[in-house]
Amino acid sequence: MTLPNGPQTPAVVQMLQWVATPMSFMEDCAKRYGDIFSLQLNMPLVLVSNPQALQQILTSDTKEFAAPSDLNSMFEPMLGKNSVITVSGEIHKRQRQLLTPPFHGERMHNYAQTISNITQEVIQSWQVNQSINQPVCIRSAMQSITLRVIMQAVFGLYNGARAVELERVLSLMMDAGGNSPLRTLLLYYPVLQRDLGKLTPWGTFLRRREIVDKLIYAEIAERRENANPSRTDILSLLMAARDVNGEPMSDVELRDELLTLLTAGHETTATALTWAFYWIHKIPNVREKLIAELDSLGDELDLNTINKLPYLGAVCNETLRIYPVGMLTFPREVKEPVNLCGYDLEPGTYILGSIYLTHQREDIYPEPKQFKPERFLQRQFSPYEFLPFGGGVRRCIGNAFAMLEMKIVLATIMKQLELELVTTKDVRPRRRGLVTGPNQIINMVVKGLRGSTEVLTKSVTNV
Ligand code: HEM
């Protein structure tokens, strides 16, 4: 099989670079080989960052291309075999039909209030003029918010004893995927996934997963016993669903889908929010413009207004452009012989869209390393030039939900509190398991109060 050019170093060397420094590795390859190149990881993979080629792939990923499940099996230890991420074809299509509506349309109105309320709860414990020895760790705070929000959407609860325990163990489990390259290697090489006791990374992961599973199965069992047709959370919706043969989802299927939403739905948005707080407070001009826009609204902070704020939207977009949390799309497989960027690719070739490289293209984003929200006010980018949520048949289900959450959390906090960065060094992106995040902890302190909490809470009820 002829593949596009790429580094000739041994596969093991490429894998180490891929795990330790994926972004600079991709950038070096793009400089040398251009918009399309091949890497030899645990198998050959073609990376693409050309918008026309991405359009070709993502608009045809049920014909010339497919969104297979085999490479997504690396998610199985966590999400199981029945997750929307680990299935493909018709089953995948049906699961998406079930999961997409709760994250769009009318439902979003209810979530707006939940997001605002939970944000208020989390910031209640932040002290004004706190010593810089006891700063707020923005990532932990954002993770608390986004995990509670997604638990409310999925289960309709986030503050009972079971929910609190689930929040605690899930956070530990996600953090364990954290910064260590060794842990990332575990995901790529199933042969390394051995339970060598509770003090080893995989052993710890398995024990935490067991607790999470017990909590989720207990919730499912309780719901089966006390069915309540008036509930509108996602678990109730999934329990009411029937497949083509009229069969309901089994407990294992429900567990896999719930865990998928809980994990995909909180770490990503928490990381994006952490970056947003960093950039807003790193660049005074960005903070000033954002505050001016929020203040121009008075106390009228309803969902529609927040969603349409141009500068707030531009800040969120630029945050997701410069260091996209998901640096790649899920893999696509060539199904029929196809020409991509001048290369004839044969069936069986695996392709990844490089979201990171596309967002760093100088021809689309001049001075790509600079954080400039204004670029989103000056021109519109196509869905293949700006694609933080991927595209095609595996496009992120939580796209609209995540954008809404980012905007409400930022508006709620920025409207009330004056924050300052404690972290003064330049922060760079770094792999966190399969997503990317800041390479250091971002701490902030509250310098003062800007507005009244009460007014804000009341006005968001207008949604
Ligand atoms: C800023 C936050 C987020 C970012 C940057 C993000 C990014 C992505 C990306 C890049 C993909 C792969 C798309 C592709 O291969 O074409 C994806 C898929 C997915 N995302 Fe998100 N996501 C975010 C938030 C969320 C939220 C809040 C949820 C759930 C409520 C969610 C659920 C999913 C699911 C279930 C998939 C798999 C879809 C499928 O396989 O059909 N994501 N996301």
Distance 169 CA to ligand 1 centre (A): 22
- Average pLDDT over the chain, rounded to an integer: 89
Provide the greatest CA pair distance for the chain. Answer: 64
Rounded average pLDDT over 126-151: 87
pLDDT band, residue 453 (cuts 50/70/90): very low
How far is the C-alpha of 332 from the C-alpha of 351, rounded, in Å?
5
Can you say whether residue 347 is alpha, beta or left, with left for phi > 0 and alpha for psi between -120 and 50 degrees?
A: beta
Distance 129 CA to ligand 1 centre (A): 37
Question: Which residue type, as a one-letter code, is found at position 414?
Answer: M
pLDDT band, residue 456 (cuts 50/70/90): very low
What kind of fold does domain 11-460 have according to CATH?
Answer: Cytochrome p450 (1.10.630)
Whether residue 311 has its Cβ less than 6 Å from ligand 1: no
How far is the C-alpha of 248 from the C-alpha of 230, rounded, in Å?
18
Distance 399 CA to ligand 1 centre (A): 7
pLDDT band, residue 441 (cuts 50/70/90): very high
Pocket mutation for ligand 1, best pick of 72, 74, 115, 268 (most atoms within 8 Å of C-beta) = 268
Helix segments in 124-200, DSSP class H? 138-155, 161-176, 181-188
Question: What's the confidence (pLDDT) of residue 454?
Answer: 43
Residue 211 has pLDDT above 50, yes or no: yes
Q: In degrees to the nearest 10, what's the CA dihedral of 408, 411, 415, 421?
A: 110
Distance 190 CA to ligand 1 centre (A): 23
Q: Give the angle 224-230-236 at the CA atoms, nearest 5°.
A: 45
Whether residue 269 has its Cβ less than 6 Å from ligand 1: yes
Residue 458 has pLDDT above 70, yes or no: no
Whether residue 404 has its Cβ less than 6 Å from ligand 1: no
CB under 8 Å to 428, separation ≥6 — which residues? Answer: 438, 439
Whether residue 403 has its Cβ less than 6 Å from ligand 1: no
Distance 178 CA to ligand 1 centre (A): 18
Whether residue 4 has its Cβ less than 6 Å from ligand 1: no
CB under 8 Å to 73, separation ≥6 — which residues? Answer: 86
Query: Which atom of ligand 1 is nearest to 320's Cα?
Result: 5
Lowest mean pLDDT among 59-63, 82-86, 92-96: 59-63
How far is the C-alpha of 230 from the C-alpha of 141, rounded, in Å?
32
Tokens encoding 92: 């995948």
Whether residue 278 has its Cβ less than 6 Å from ligand 1: no
Question: What's the confidence (pLDDT) of residue 179?
Answer: 58
Residue minimizing CA distance to atom 20 of ligand 1? 396
DSSP state of 190: G
Determine what percent of the chain falls in helix, strand and coil, rounding each to the nearest 5: 55, 10, 35
How far is the C-alpha of 145 from the C-alpha of 148, rounded, in Å?
5
Question: What's the confidence (pLDDT) of residue 178?
Answer: 56
Beta strand 350-353 with 44-48 is parallel
Rounded average pLDDT over 357-375: 98
Question: Which residue type, as a one-letter code, is found at position 444?
Answer: M
pLDDT band, residue 148 (cuts 50/70/90): very high
End-to-end Cα separation, the chain, in angstroms: 56
Lowest mean pLDDT among 24-28, 236-240, 331-335, 341-345: 236-240
Tokens encoding 35: 């918009």
DSSP state of 183: H
Share of the chain above pLDDT 90, in %: 62
Share of the chain above pLDDT 70, in %: 92
pLDDT band, residue 457 (cuts 50/70/90): very low
Pocket mutation for ligand 1, best pick of 61, 389, 403 (most atoms within 8 Å of C-beta) = 389
Residue minimizing CA distance to atom 43 of ligand 1? 396
Pocket mutation for ligand 1, best pick of 74, 396, 410 (most atoms within 8 Å of C-beta) = 396
What are the tens digits of pLDDT across the range 302-347? 777 888 999 999 999 999 999 999 999 999 999 999 999 999 999 9
pLDDT band, residue 96 (cuts 50/70/90): very high
pTM, two decimals, is 0.93
Whether residue 102 has its Cβ less than 6 Å from ligand 1: no
User: Where along the chain do its domains lie?
Assistant: 11-460
Q: How many CB atoms lie within 10 A of CB 224?
A: 12
Whether residue 433 has its Cβ less than 6 Å from ligand 1: no
E strands within 241-391? 332-334, 338-340, 343-345, 350-353
Distance 400 CA to ligand 1 centre (A): 10
